[in-house]
Amino acid sequence: MANRINKVNFHCVTNNTAHRTIEITRKQLIVRRGQPFLLTLEMVQPFSVRDTLLLTVETGSAPSERHGTRSQFGNPSAKYTSDAKAIWKYEIDRSAVLERGIVALSVTPPTDAPVGKYSLSAMTHGETRNLGTLVVLFNPWCSGDWVYLPDDRERQEYVMNEEGTVYIGTSHYIGSQPWIFGQLNSNDYEGVLVGRWDGNYSDGCSPTCWTSSVSILQRWFQNRCNPVTYGQCWVFATVMCTVMRFFGIPCRVVTNFQSAHDSNNTLAIDEYYNDYGVRSKEASESVWNFHVWVEGWMKRPDLMKGGIYDGWQVLDPTPQEESEGVFCCGPAPVNAILRGDTDVKYDVPFVYAEVNADIVKWMISTNGSKKKMYTDSMSVGQSISTKAVDSWKRVDITDSYKHREGSAEERAIFKRAVRMNSKEGQGDIEEAPQYVEMKIKEETKAINGQDIKLRLKLSSKDHTNKVLSVRVNAQAMRYNGNPADNILNKVQHVTLLSGQDVAIPIQIPFADYSKYMVNCDSIKVSAVASDSDEYYQTETNITLEQPVISMKVLYPVHVNHEMTLEVEFKNPLNERLRNCSLTVIGCGLFKSDYIQSDLGEVEPKATLKLKITTTPYRAGLKTVVADFDCSSFRDIKSSCIVDVKP
């Protein structure tokens, strides 16, 4: 007679605690590869270690031993084919009360087991019973796993930390935006986003409104897995970071400032200007103010032996260019990018160009002819940034992507990458001589709500005097490098004496730029100086400093006790703010987004004050993030730390 299984105990709380998944759930068994978990079977009769007990795990639509998606193991020992992968095992705890039919098993998923949701069944003397399901994740704590990360501080940061920072702005004005990853709240969602960059978000949410991956994934789930509208690069990247950390892959969000989008694989970005310094509104190639992707930590056994390409891998979820017929990018080994090994899989040439392409500046004359002004080999790939481990500080990791800009080693690797890419660049076209040096500087920091004051300096590098026509143009820019609208056009004639300097003040009134900057990220100020023979050009990106939201927590704060958060925002303008709304979110503090959209109007120079109450449900240091939106300022963000006591 078969010894039937009467009860099964997955010990979810004990196992999930040991496998560091207890914050995800207490009701579903979630374990990590290469680490044993406890499973107790209660038989109707006494059990002997010689009795038949075969366990079977299966995942996917067509489980097979060959693909590692099926494994049968136990007593008697299963016979595997030579191509079998991901073989599971268990050991019987002999201290269990076997004579009473209590069988305690220590089950170990192999380090190469595919991650996912498995069914588990048991066979005793020819009778099979379905025991339930379990989820298997990667294990960065296990040295045999491909995602093993030796440093525990890094594991806490890149796997367990639910809060972080995304760096935005420009290389001259690096801003930070708090973000709630919430991977321990996210279950096993597969986040889906729609990207949009044209400024029209009326049928969805502006990409700047988001502060949390949890909000996006919950909306996706509640809408029956329909795409969430809308996202841009930092939203795609942060959602991907959440999913990767949930699966157990160490992951960090990385921002590349002055990021090139090279659509034709020449490792050169062509920028075209007319004689007013105005760029065309749309271009297939551009230099983004910033671009955000993620790095995942993993081995690359599919590449060269010796592990030269193991470690951080670039994965870019923003749909830009197709890779092997699909809009995706990576994994591209960071070390391959540093070495200029553009023949390495996957998409190394595209990422290499993002951090190291040259910019070729062209002047388009009124008759349609074009003239090469100069090549900028220094600007692309600035201040590549990520959040520090155990800190809210920014870490510059540019050196891991390329050698010092302009160095002999950097230029040699660039030329090698161009040769390996088999594309002919523009280096053979003669550049115009640069007899005039130009530079635009901010007189004071540009603040949204105030006039912008700049100074254009022209310096003579020639032995002759020049009479120049100087045209200054200001354009509202989207962060992906495409102009949205013209703000300012100014023409002035100056005489530049040999070896001398001339300074021209530039002022952009708030009244002129305000309506354009509600949906734009920066102002591109460009100057073109010309005489009868040559053109000279310079430009700068102006990022506006935004007003500040202040937040204060009224202490003490304890789990399951109501807490109060005070929020203040002062209107810096001499005009009313309309359509004001506030969104607040925090893991362990709010079970869903707190949204107050009926704040009405804020009078000129007045201060908006709010008190928000919530009941924390998890102890520890938590981050609360606020987003204030109105007719004049879009999605101003702030954050503060809350110390929740048990």
* Structure-block tokens of residue 529: 């100086």
Residue 533, marked binder: no
Nearest Cα to Cα of residue 457 among 402, 538, 530 = 538
Task: Give catalytic status of residue 251 as yes or no.
Answer: no
| Residue 408 one-letter amino acid | A
| In 171-281, beta strands by DSSP E | 174-180, 193-195, 228-231, 251-261, 268-273
Distance CA 593, CA 567 (A): 16
* Structure-block tokens of residue 350: 């595209």
Residue 15, marked binder: no
Nearest Cα to Cα of residue 328 among 319, 340, 337, 336 = 319
State the CB neighbour count (10 A cutoff) for residue 41.
23
Nearest Cα to Cα of residue 37 among 53, 22, 59 = 22
Residue 358, marked binder: yes
Task: Give catalytic status of residue 316 as yes or no.
Answer: yes
Whether 265 contacts 321, CB under 8 Å: no
Distance CA 334, CA 295 (A): 9
Nearest Cα to Cα of residue 401 among 347, 343, 336 = 336
Find the radius of gyration of the CA atoms of the chain. 30
The gap from C-alpha 36 to its chain's centroid, in whole angstroms, comes to 33
Helices (H), 156-308: 213-222, 233-247
Residue 489, marked binder: no
Which residue among the candidates 12, 145, 209, 233 is catalytic per the annotation?
A: 233
The region that residue 190 occupies, defined by phi over 0 for left and psi between -120 and 50 for alpha, beta otherwise, is beta
Q: For residue 258, how many C-alpha atoms fall within 13 Å in the half-sphere facing its CB?
A: 20
Distance CA 240, CA 181 (A): 9
Which residue among the candidates 209, 241, 261, 291 is catalytic per the annotation?
A: 291
Distance CA 275, CA 209 (A): 37
CA-based torsion, 343, 348, 350, 353: positive or negative:
negative
The burial class, CB within 10 Å (0-12 / 13-18 / 19+), for 407 is exposed
* Structure-block tokens of residue 66: 């060959």
Give Cα separations from 424 to 152, 265, 363, 374, 417 (angstroms). 46, 9, 21, 17, 11
Distance CA 497, CA 602 (A): 53
Give Cα separations from 20 to 12, 13, 104, 184, 268 (angstroms). 11, 10, 21, 10, 46
Strand order in the sheet with 594-596: 594-596, 581-585, 620-629, 636-644
- CA 540-197-388 angle, to 5 degrees, is 65
Task: Give catalytic status of residue 83 as yes or no.
Answer: no
* Positions at the binding site: 356, 358, 405, 410
Catalytic residues: 233, 291, 316
* Positions at the binding site for Ca(2+): 356, 358, 405, 410
